[in-house]
């Protein structure tokens, strides 16, 4: 067990080093992602989840900006052993003022695979069809694991990494998102809090775009 804990600790330092290295030399945008999840039941059984998101930009702290509002319905279709399948329908509205606002409709399919190991590794492939002013597809590959599955509840435990590929007939873009969970509850309330570090403009030869996002997930 001591050897496994040491490996986890080394992995944690590597992730934190990757997170902090670009911040010394380049500017970083500061944002917040706040999601509110409400289960919807029919005949006493949970069938759907309603997920509402407010995404705000605090880079100009004196003039914070609401970037978009998002509403989603999620359905867990089924699980077959280690595999699972779920689907979402997302509506997103950018720039909430009527002037200059944009709408997006996004069907989503997620295939998951849960490993039976000490760090509770999970992998997911997420496929999105983004119907907006200019249509595009987005593919996600994600994995997450518990850094300290059997240790202090105050330690950062869940690490998630998302790699995104967004493309259509005329352009493509790549992005990486590293998520570090801080806690699963605040003052006894089931609120998940974490930090997310996004890196955009990968493989373009242009200066990278860095974003630091405070994430909260409220479950009712």
In the three-class reduction of DSSP (H, G, I as helix; E, B as strand; rest coil), residue 8 is classed as helix
What sign results for the dihedral spanned by CA atoms 83, 89, 183, 212? positive
Residue 213: Cβ-neighbour burial (10 angstroms; 0-12, 13-18, 19+): buried
Q: How far apart are CA 142 and CA 130, in angstroms?
A: 19
- Token pair 């200059």 is found at 100
Per-residue pLDDT of the chain (220 residues; tens, 9 = 90+): 444 444 444 445 445 454 444 444 467 899 999 999 999 988 777 789 999 999 999 988 777 888 999 999 999 999 999 999 999 999 999 976 656 678 999 999 999 999 998 888 999 999 999 999 899 999 999 999 987 766 555 555 789 999 999 999 999 999 999 999 888 878 778 888 999 999 999 999 899 999 999 999 998 8
pLDDT at 154: 52
pTM over 0.85: no
8 Å CB contact between 106 and 131 = yes
User: Three-state DSSP class for 209?
Assistant: strand
Q: Show me where the domains of the chain are located.
A: 2-219
Specify the CATH class of 2-219 in words: mainly beta
Pure H helices in the chain? 2-20
């Amino acid at each position: 067990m001591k050897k496994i804990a040491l490996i986890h600790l080394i992995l944690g330092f590597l992730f934190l080093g990757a997170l902090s290295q670009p911040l010394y030399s380049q500017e970083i945008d500061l944002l917040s992602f706040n999601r509110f999840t409400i289960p919807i039941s029919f005949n006493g059984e949970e069938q759907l989840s309603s997920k509402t998101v407010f995404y705000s930009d605090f880079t100009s702290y004196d003039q914070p900006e609401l970037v978009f509002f998002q509403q989603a319905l999620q359905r867990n279709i089924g699980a077959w052993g280690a595999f699972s399948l779920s689907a979402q329908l997302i509506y997103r509205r950018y720039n909430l003022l009527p002037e200059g606002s944009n709408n997006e409709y996004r069907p989503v399919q997620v295939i998951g695979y849960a490993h039976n190991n000490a760090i509770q590794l999970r992998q997911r492939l997420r496929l999105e069809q983004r119907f907006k002013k200019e249509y595009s597809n987005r593919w996600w590959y994600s994995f997450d694991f518990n850094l300290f599955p059997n240790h202090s509840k105050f330690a950062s435990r869940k690490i998630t990494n998302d790699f995104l590929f967004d493309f259509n007939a005329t352009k493509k873009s790549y992005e990486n998102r590293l998520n570090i969970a801080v806690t699963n509850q605040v003052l006894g309330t089931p609120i998940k809090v974490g930090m997310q570090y996004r890196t955009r403009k990968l493989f373009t030869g242009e200066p990278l775009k860095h974003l630091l996002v405070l994430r909260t997930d409220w479950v009712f």
